[in-house]
């Protein structure tokens, strides 16, 4: 199928944006996305991140795809099962079929080639082997039913199109000035620190912020603090897909650049998908405040240590292209620091040091994932 024809099919379904980690089978599509005005392609650091970016774009009203090599399907299984599937987010997944049985390919693709279609189905995805003559109808049908779907793309399905512009690689070192060494110690637990943020999260107005909170006890606490009546429509509690809060928030801001997005992350979650800091730095979302609640632990699962105390996140975020980065631990400074980040042209990064531990009677969001999705997309106007 010539890529221009495929592009027309996408446009016909109003799919004009996507993210991904490439496979050579998708070279025509990636080049096409860059060459065509009105199409938006954001390269991702990992396939799971691409899924989550596309999900954020869809949340904000832009039908989107995530493309990947089938070897990357393994990297994306968790966001597919615990984000797309449970919330029923209609992202179109394009998965190449390296190692297709009967075709000669390299040894690393052999097993994944045999299980790609089955694996996709096992992940709860409606799965199609892409056939040009059926594509429009299948896309139309899955979009009408608002379900995620996987299109497995055999070798040679997409062809033609423009050549890629050469990469102009010119890097700078030493961009992050040395900062004075300071030491911080946490005074508050995560829930008490979250409490300080509520007035900022709940500020109404025309440009009310969208808040995406990470998996684990942080989201459970935030929900219990003031959303048990289910009226905080600007919240998205990411109950699974650990590490994907920032990429989801990035997708939202990509689709609605004027919408302020605040991501409430954990140190374990952020470390799991640290490549996302670079993707955020590349994408430069201007209204993007990334707040990491750092307790040096996987607190939710029992307080096991993370590598966070060894990492100077401020420097990492700045080195990745964030415009501002700070660390804060004093209770009297937390809300002010967040407020100042919200007022700054982003992306910005704030590390909030907190103590481990949570209350014993902590519940879980009583809003079902798909109801949460409907509430959030309607807040975003989608
Ligand atoms: C992919 C994946 N691995 C492991 C888990 C189990 N898990 C749930 S929450 C969590 C800890 C998250 O740590 P962090 O982001 O630092 O947040 P905290 O619990 O400390 O607030 C882990 C490991 C998971 N949900 N998903």
Cα 152 to Cα 93: distance, rounded to the nearest angstrom:
8
State the average pLDDT over residues 358-377.
Answer: 96
The total number of residues shown for the chain amounts to 382
For residue 49, give the 3-state DSSP assignment: helix
Strand partners, 151: 94, 128
Q: By the 8 A CB rule, do 70 and 96 touch? A: yes
Rounded to the nearest angstrom, the distance between the alpha carbon of 83 and the centre of ligand 1 is 15
Cα 210 to Cα 287: distance, rounded to the nearest angstrom:
10
Burial (Cβ within 10 Å: 0-12, 13-18, ≥19) of residue 49: buried
Per-residue confidence band for 205, with pLDDT thresholds at 50, 70 and 90? confident
Q: Which of 76, 79, 215 to mutate to test the pocket of ligand 1 (most atoms within 8 A of CB)?
A: 215
Cα 236 to Cα 222: distance, rounded to the nearest angstrom:
10
Give percent above pLDDT 70 in the chain: 100
Q: Which atom of ligand 1 is nearest to the CA of 267?
A: 16
Rounded to the nearest angstrom, the distance between the alpha carbon of 289 and the centre of ligand 1 is 21
DSSP string, 160-194: --PPPPPP--------S-----------SBHHHHH
State the average pLDDT over residues 33-41.
Answer: 96
Cα 375 to Cα 105: distance, rounded to the nearest angstrom:
45
Residue nearest to atom 6 of ligand 1 (CA): 301
How many beta carbons lie within 10 A of that of residue 78, not counting itself? 19
Per-residue confidence band for 4, with pLDDT thresholds at 50, 70 and 90? very high
Residue nearest to atom 2 of ligand 1 (CA): 242
In 3D, which of 89, 50, 11, 72 has the Cα closest to residue 250?
50
For the segment 319-341, what is each residue's pLDDT rounded down to a tens digit? 999 999 999 999 999 999 999 99
Hey, what domains does the chain have and what are their CATH numbers? 3-153 (3.40.50.970), 190-379 (3.40.50.970)
Cis, bond preceding 347 (omega within 30 deg of 0) = yes
Q: Which atom of ligand 1 is nearest to the CA of 266?
A: 15
| pLDDT on residue 123 | 98
DSSP string, 217-286: HHHHHHHHHH-TTS--TTEEE--SSTT-HHHHHHHHHHHSTTS-EEEEEEHHHHHHTTHHHHHHHHH--S
Give percent above pLDDT 90 in the chain: 95
Tell whether the model's pLDDT for residue 382 goes beyond 70. no
For the segment 108-125, what is each residue's pLDDT rounded down to a tens digit? 999 999 999 999 999 999
For the segment 259-285, what is each residue's pLDDT rounded down to a tens digit? 999 999 999 999 999 999 999 999 999
Place of tokens 């946490």: 186
State the average pLDDT over residues 168-184.
Answer: 91
What would the two tokens of residue 338 be?
A: 């967040």
What would the two tokens of residue 178 be?
A: 């040395």
Residue nearest to atom 8 of ligand 1 (CA): 216
| pLDDT on residue 204 | 85
Per-residue confidence band for 151, with pLDDT thresholds at 50, 70 and 90? very high
Cα 79 to Cα 241: distance, rounded to the nearest angstrom:
5
| pLDDT on residue 143 | 96
For the segment 43-65, what is each residue's pLDDT rounded down to a tens digit? 999 999 999 999 999 999 999 99
Rounded to the nearest angstrom, the distance between the alpha carbon of 117 and the centre of ligand 1 is 29
Q: By the 8 A CB rule, do 32 and 1 touch? A: no
Rounded to the nearest angstrom, the distance between the alpha carbon of 269 and the centre of ligand 1 is 6
For residue 63, give the 3-state DSSP assignment: coil
Q: Which residues does a 6 A CB cutoff place in the pocket of ligand 1? A: 78, 190, 214-218, 242, 266-269, 295, 297-301, 306
Q: Which atom of ligand 1 is nearest to the CA of 269?
A: 15
Rounded to the nearest angstrom, the distance between the alpha carbon of 291 and the centre of ligand 1 is 16
pTM for this entry:
0.98
State the average pLDDT over residues 80-105.
Answer: 98
DSSP letter at 352 equals E
Cα 223 to Cα 334: distance, rounded to the nearest angstrom:
20
Q: Which atom of ligand 1 is nearest to the CA of 216?
A: 9
Residue nearest to atom 7 of ligand 1 (CA): 301
| pLDDT on residue 88 | 98
Mean pLDDT of the chain: 97
């Amino acid at each position: 199928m010539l890529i221009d024809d495929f592009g027309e099919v996408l446009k016909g379904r109003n799919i004009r944006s996507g993210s991904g980690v490439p496979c050579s089978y998708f070279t025509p599509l990636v080049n096409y996305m860059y060459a065509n005005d009105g199409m938006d392609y954001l390269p991702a650091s990992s396939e799971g991140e691409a899924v989550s970016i596309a999900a954020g774009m869809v949340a904000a009203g832009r039908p989107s795809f995530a493309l990947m090599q089938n070897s990357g399907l393994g990297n994306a299984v968790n966001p597919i099962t615990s984000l797309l599937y449970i919330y029923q987010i209609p992202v179109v997944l394009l998965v190449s079929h390296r190692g297709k049985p009967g075709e000669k390919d390299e040894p690393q693709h052999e097993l994944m080639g045999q299980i790609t279609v089955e694996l996709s189905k096992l992940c709860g995805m409606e799965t199609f082997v892409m056939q040009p003559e059926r594509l429009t109808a299948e896309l139309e049908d899955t979009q009408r039913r608002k379900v995620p779907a996987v299109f497995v793309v055999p070798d040679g399905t997409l062809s033609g199109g423009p050549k890629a512009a050469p990469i102009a690689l010119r890097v700078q070192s030493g961009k992050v000035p040395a900062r004075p060494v300071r030491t911080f110690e946490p005074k508050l637990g995560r829930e008490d620190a979250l409490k300080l943020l509520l007035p900022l999260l709940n500020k109404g107005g025309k440009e009310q912020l969208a808040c995406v909170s990470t998996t684990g006890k942080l989201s459970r606490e935030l929900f219990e603090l003031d959303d048990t009546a289910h009226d905080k429509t600007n919240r998205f509690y990411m109950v699974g897909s650990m590490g994907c809060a920032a990429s989801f928030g990035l997708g939202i801001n990509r689709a609605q650049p004027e919408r302020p997005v605040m991501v409430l992350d954990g140190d374990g979650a952020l470390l799991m998908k640290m490549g996302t800091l670079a993707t955020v730095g590349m994408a430069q979302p201007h209204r993007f405040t990334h707040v990491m609640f750092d307790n040096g632990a996987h607190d939710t699962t029992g307080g096991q240590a993370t590598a966070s105390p060894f990492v100077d996140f401020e420097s990492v975020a700045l080195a990745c292209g964030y415009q501002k980065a700070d660390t804060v631990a004093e209770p009297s400074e937390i809300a002010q620091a967040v407020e100042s980040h919200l007022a700054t042209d982003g992306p910005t990064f704030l590390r909030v040091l907190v103590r481990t531990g949570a209350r014993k009677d902590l519940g879980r969001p009583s809003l079902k994932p798909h109801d949460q999705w409907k509430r959030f997309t309607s807040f975003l106007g989608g």
